[in-house]
Amino acid sequence: MKTISTTNARKIFGKLIESVYRDNSAILIGKRNVPEAVLIKFPSEFNSCVDEITNINAYSGSFDFLAKEPEIYSRKDIKKSYA
């Protein structure tokens, strides 16, 4: 993921928002290639009973890739993946 400078981000902020919304991607914004903030799409659903981070994780699709993963790993699975 590329980091966009804060100066450049100010100039094209509208385009960045359109890109995040259209492509469902994240954009890092920072100084000297050091990320300071991330621009992500707002969740399609929002639960006011939990905090913002929980909403983002639950509803933004951030963890959709886990749908393909098994619910429980055996020791053999873990050793195969991480050892």
Quote the CA–CA distance of 65 and 79 in Å, as a whole number: 21
**Model pLDDT, residue 4:** 92
Q: End-to-end distance of the chain based on CA atoms, in angstroms? A: 27
Q: What's residue 83's pLDDT?
A: 65
d(CA 16, CA 53): 21
What CA–CA distance (Å, rounded) separates 37 from 23? 18
- Residue pLDDT, tens place only, 9-63: 999 999 999 998 888 788 999 998 889 998 988 777 778 888 888 877 776 666 7
Does the reported pTM lie above 0.75? no
One domain, residues 32 and 56: no
Q: Which residue has the tokens 């450049």?
A: 8
47 and 36, same structural domain? no
Domain extent for 61: 43-83
3-class DSSP assignment, residue 71? coil
Are residues 49 and 35 both part of a single domain? no
